[in-house]
Amino acid sequence: MNVVVTGAGGFIGHHLVNRLKAEGHHVRGVDLKRPEFAPSAADEFQIADLRHFESCLRATEGMDDVYQLAADMGGIGYISANHAFLTRNNTLINSHMLEAARLSRVRRYLYTSSACVYPSFLQNGADVTPLRETEAVPADPEKGYGWEKLFAEQLTGYYHEECGLDVRIVRFHNIYGPLGAYDGGREKAPAAICRKVALAPDGGCIEVWGDGLQTRSFCYIEDCIEGIRRIMESGYARPINLGRDELVTVNQLVDAACAAAGKELTRRHDLTRPQGVRGRNSDNSVLADLLGWQPETALCEGIQPTYDWIAAELVSASP
């Protein structure tokens, strides 16, 4: 098939292009930039700003399937400081991409949402109940990024109901792995912690945002890509979680990175830094029932190749 991956210059998009090419599809990659850490395997790559409708039309022209991963996003520090422009950018991208897909008569459309859509009042404690897909409404998502993701989910659903667009809506829960941003402000927690651990001497100290007792679940990139492909083939048009249901504290994430590095480090907790919600975990009941599958890679397994890659990148970048 002819497939377009928007956001193909980013972390998940780059891995998805590789998977689709390995399956034998003709892949068009679209992004503001090409992948930073490895060449794209896409058959064609459009450098385009998807905030402009004409770029979205060019991206979807002649395509069977659309994987809409393009987004202005980053770690908690970035999304906490850029509510206005991030919300505007992503709203433009998502509304234009849906209309372009309709006009281009694409066969299927997959939108990648986020666990940030879930209400904050369900995530006030570290020992949380896993979040079920039906709990996104009544709404109280994270400011900015969470609101625009929830709005885009609703809009995607309207295109399905009123225009007949065959859609998938996937809610990511903290995806990590090699070839992702690890510095500069847009990196997620696993990459940031791995970078800090790699740069610290054995016996040294690293800064950790918050008290370290906040909880999350983390999904390894290979499981994420497998889940995306299975969900696309499932025929399921409602929002669905894609994440690992292994709840860990940020301190346990630090422990895993230290174990991967073979280092013993102390921590300096900075309570003034953004921390996000207190606790978040994925309920995988729908995913498991629908697919007979769910992400399998434990954090201790996925953090090793992630750490190794980031450590090697830091060595190669050093003068």
Tell me if residue 145 is catalytic. yes
Q: CA angle, corner 149, sides to 288 and 152, nearest 5?
A: 100
Cα 79 from Cα 143, distance rounded (Å): 9
Cα 259 from Cα 86, distance rounded (Å): 35
Cα 10 from Cα 66, distance rounded (Å): 16
Alpha helices in the chain (DSSP H): 11-22, 53-60, 76-81, 83-103, 145-163, 189-199, 221-232, 250-261, 285-291, 299-317
Handedness of CA 149, 57, 99, 223 (dihedral sign): negative
Contact 179, 37 (CB under 8 A): yes
Neighbours of 296 (CB within 10 A): 11
Catalytic residue among 78, 145, 220, 236: 145
- Secondary structure (3-state) at 62: coil
Contact 218, 257 (CB under 8 A): no
Exposed e or buried b for every residue in 8-21, given b needs 16+ CB within 10 A? Answer: bbbbbbbbbbbbbb
Cα 109 from Cα 286, distance rounded (Å): 20
Which positions are annotated as active-site residues? Answer: 145
